[in-house]
Amino acid sequence: MTSTFEAPPESVQHEHYMQRALELAALGTGCTSPNPLVGCVVVRDNRIIGEGWHEIYGHNHAEINALEAAGDARSATLYVTLEPCHHHGLTPPCTQAIVKAGVSHVVYALADPNPRAAGGAQWLQTQGIQVSTGVLEAQARFQNRFFLKHMACQRPYVIAKSATSLDGRIATRTGHSQWITGPEARERGHELRQCVDAIIVGADTVIADNPSLTVRLSAAGHNPDLIRHPRPVVLDSTGRVPLHSNLLNGSLPTRTLVMTTDAMPREHRLTIETRGFEVVSVLHNEHGPGTSPLAVLEALGDRGIHSVLIEGGATVSGSFRDAGLIDEMWTFIAPTVIGGESARSAYSATGSDTLGDATQLHDVHVENVGRDVLIRGCVTRPDTAPSTKQTTEQTSTTPSTEGATQAASSDTTTTASH
């Protein structure tokens, strides 16, 4: 009796190789902004012959690295998480390299929303190359949610992080907060810092904790040469942050951006600026104290910042929540009860009047992190409600970019910030 091997359907093969490309793309986390994360594999005869990813901003794109690793890519299929670029920026167009390499089929997950770089798929088709799109698009969209959000509205994607006790407190009634969560949760928090362009804290947090807001990861599993420190952003509407604080004394690897209002004394502002720090005046918050959350994000978007992490304090986190400007929430919960009416919660400001007004999450993930629990999810809005449609591969003669500019909405603090 003889048996025959039946190859899996083409769509299954495409998803298998695209999943590998997504894994490769993730290796560039924190190092490619303002470019997107992109991974690529080159396949021939159901075997990967080359793979690569966009490693560092300004360096080769994923397709170039994968083609160089493959050597001979004639008649191969190239899988890439983002539509190959068709313009000359810091590097030449990837489309030309694909044609020159003799690739016969290109499969990509997500259309490029950047009008300067888009159009690569259509041009490849004019060169006789088969093009397929939409494979694992939802996963690719989430992976590049920072890039897509900025492309869509020129504002950064906002993640709010907090670390609380079981009863939702971020500190005791006396303000003691270091540390509510364990070392594993704090390590995970530093990994999240590595992902973003900037970290936002308020004046109260700087005064209370004197944080550095740098990325500090254990040597195991982390290449120190690839550590990138996000830019600290301090919201200080009246100039209360001491000049000797870590964020303003010039001792850190990145330069702090101070967001203020016209209520900051002119002398204080000039002193900060003479130390080499940028100070930006924005509108007052119409619904509470401090700076306008929307004005802050618009100013950051104008500076090319694609993603921000809010690490407190409670008033800052609460004001961004009240304004509906948070895209994603991460909450580390420790098996500890603090109690006390005056012990602060993670989100203050005005808050919701009814449960119907409360912030709801979707694509919620719950995981154990050491002794603590992490709950993370995306904020649900009418335009980001989970879709019931399944993502399927589609072969296109005229690749569409419809929906590519929508911000991602599906999966991948201590207010003692430090």
Task: Find the mean pLDDT for residues 310-335.
Answer: 94
Phi, psi (degrees; rounded to nearest 5) at 123: -65, -40
More confident residue, 333 or 338: 333
414, pLDDT greater than 60: no
DSSP conformation class of 133: E
Is residue 397 classed exposed, middle or buried when 0-12, 13-18 and 19+ CB atoms within 10 A define those classes?
exposed
Q: How many residues does the chain have?
A: 418
Please say if the pLDDT value at position 408 is more than 80. no
* Per-residue pLDDT tens over the stretch 131-186: 999 999 999 999 999 999 999 999 999 999 999 999 989 888 888 788 889 999 99
Report residue 395's pLDDT band, with 50, 70 and 90 as the boundaries.
very low
Half-sphere exposure in the Cβ direction for 209 (13 Å, CA): 25
* 63 given a catalytic annotation: yes
Ramachandran area for residue 276 (φ above 0: left; ψ -120 to 50: alpha; else beta): left
The one catalytic residue in 15, 63, 328, 393 is 63
To which residue do tokens 């494979």 refer? 135
pLDDT of residue 228: 87
Which string of DSSP letters, residue by residue, matches 92-132?
--HHHHHHHHT--EEEEEE----TTT--HHHHHHHTT-EEE
CA–CA separation, 179 and 183 (whole Å): 9
**DSSP state at residue 166:** T
- At 232-283, the pLDDT tens digits run 999 999 999 999 999 999 999 999 999 999 999 999 999 999 999 999 999 9
What are the C-alpha distances in Å from 283 to residues 261, 263, 291, 292, 317? 6, 10, 6, 6, 18
